[in-house]
Structure 1
Amino acid sequence: MKAETSDCSIPKSCSEVEVDIKRLDRMLAAAHRSGIDVKDSYDFYVLALKELNKENLIDAYLYCDRARYELTSSLNQAKFKIKGTSFHSLRTLSYFFKLYGLYAVIFSALSVIVFGALITAYSSLSVMAVPLWAPFFAGLGASAQILMGVADDLRRYGMASRYKRLWYMALPLLAMVFGYMAYLVFSSGFIALDGDARSRESSIMFICFLTGFLTKWLIGWVSRISRDI
């Protein structure tokens, strides 16, 4: 009888090993920021990088795998034990929150609730003839963009690609500014909208939301224009 053969789990190209090492790099960064000792794991990570540069795929993969093992051991050591049972500590919880972007998810969820409440409570108020629902809808769009960003990272990488806490906190505020200006542009008649007053108002609400959702793109666009001036 012929022995059954199974596919080798070792990657067969530099690109596959490089992806694994990049994932490991993000994991180490999240652990280090959470106060977890990653020295042993980092040493093997450096060895994996060196072997990858030499195109020694097997050694690079093995060092990367050992680095993940050491990181797992460090995470287990960071847990606290009660009567032989391990429980997550604040450090390990912080690690998972950073690694999977859970801080951003919580922040964006709270932002959705806050902006929804503001739209409901203060939509009738205005500042310089601009109703407050305009910047609030833009903030709601920015909150949706944050959730989409985290979801896209998890879909593509299985973890948050970068730690973006400060950027995510600033995004809704910037979106409110863009939403305010978007209302001025579309309500002034500079860009005509068809329909009656109610349908035009609904269209502007959607435009403000879309403006907030596209805040990241708008920032890049404005930055390119400012550099060209």
Structure 2
Amino acid sequence: MSNDATIKDASTPQLEEELRMRTWAEEKLIKLGSLLEIGESRNVHVEDAISNYDKSREMLYKDKNSLESIKESDKGMRLFTMELNQHKFKFFGLPRWTYLSFVIAKYGLSSMFYGMATAIFFGYLLMHPPYKYVLNVPLWASLFAGLGASAQIMMGTVNDIKTTGVVQEYKRLWYTALPFLAAIFGFIAYLLTDLGMMTTGGGPTTSYLNATSIGLLNLSGLDGPLLINNTTLIASSAETLTAQDVSSFEANFGDNMRVVVCFLVGVFTNAFIEKLSDLAEKF
């Protein structure tokens, strides 16, 4: 084995350890910064801890010393915890509002409860048909999209808590608009799914297919009789379909797929907004 290969093999574990330490240091720094931001907004004395935060940041990004950065972050966390504990209890052992509001902000309870409330709201409306139609688009399309956005708010909050222990993304009031923006996107998504199909019915339907003036037609997995009326053929619940020389075609695939599409549009509403913002900046 050459000397270069030996050096490479020996340095690989060291590089992996340095990368792991840097990742750990960044996680601690981000968590401390988020806690200090929340504490400062709740009038908690954080000046001493901020000093340790600045030192930790400098050691990590300027001095490239992950170990010392971790030590400074831990020191800042201890100072902040000591200061926060002074606001923990009031008379009769009851917690002060400063401490309660800090816990609510840290764990994203506001965004979690909001996501639950909007999910219940959209779910309640979904449980009470019949639905109204606007431009042949049923109301449930917007409701399922709003339900998806509500689920995303809760999932994002839980993911932040699992990752860093502090809510990161859904900590501003902007997220309150997501379910209602998703409702608009769900409306558009339904229209786009209609464009992707030849023609579709507007109300609750079952799977069916109508085709006229067919030159060649192959069907497999047909559930039910094949009905022929002069030049018109009606097939129900066909698994596969191959047709040639079709002069007109009508297909209705049911609403199950649209439900999934509208729900996913709601889940990814936040990502859509970011992409649309980037696109708007380019123009």
Normalised by the shorter chain, which TM-score bucket? Answer: 0.7 to 0.9
Identical positions, percent: 32
Q: 1:123 to 1:46 in 2, by over 3 A?
A: farther
Bigger helix fraction: 1
* TM-score (norm: length of structure 2): 0.67
Query: AA paired with 1:177?
Result: I
Deviations, residues 178-199 of structure 1 (Å, cap 9, x unaligned): 1011122224x53358934996
Answer whether contact 1:138 1:175 (CA < 8 A) is retained.
yes
Answer whether contact 2:146 2:183 (CA < 8 A) is retained.
yes
Deviations, residues 60-88 of structure 1 (Å, cap 9, x unaligned): 333322211111111111123335x4x32
Q: 1:163 to 1:138 in 2, by over 3 A?
A: closer
Is 1:169 aligned to 2:176, yes or no? yes
Aligned to 2:38: 30
Answer whether contact 1:47 1:63 (CA < 8 A) is retained.
yes
What CA distance in whole angstroms lies between the structure 2 residues aligned with 1:100 and 1:46?
Answer: 24
Is 1:89 aligned to 2:96, yes or no? yes
* TM-score (norm: length of structure 1): 0.81
Q: Secondary structure at the match of 1:141?
A: helix
**Of the candidates 135, 147, 154, which is equivalent to residue 147 of structure 1?**
154
What CA distance in whole angstroms lies between the structure 2 residues aligned with 1:147 and 1:134?
Answer: 21
Unaligned stretches of 5+ residues in structure 1: 1-10
Answer whether contact 2:122 2:143 (CA < 8 A) is retained.
yes
Where do 4+ consecutive residues of structure 1 move more than 6 Å? none
Unaligned stretches of 5+ residues in structure 2: 1-18, 201-205, 209-250
Is 1:79 aligned to 2:95, yes or no? no
RMSD of the alignment, in Å?
A: 2.7
Q: 1:223 to 1:50 in 2, by over 3 A?
A: closer
Aligned to 2:79: 70
Query: AA paired with 1:68?
Result: M
Q: Which moved more, 1:34-43 or 1:104-113?
A: 34-43
Is 1:207 aligned to 2:261, yes or no? yes
Higher Cα radius of gyration: 2
Q: 1:204 to 1:12 in 2, by over 3 A?
A: closer
**How many equivalent pairs are there?**
216
What CA distance in whole angstroms lies between the structure 1 residues aligned with 2:26 and 2:279?
Answer: 36
Deviations, residues 150-194 of structure 1 (Å, cap 9, x unaligned): 12222222221235332311111110111011122224x533589
What CA distance in whole angstroms lies between the structure 1 residues aligned with 2:120 and 2:177?
Answer: 17
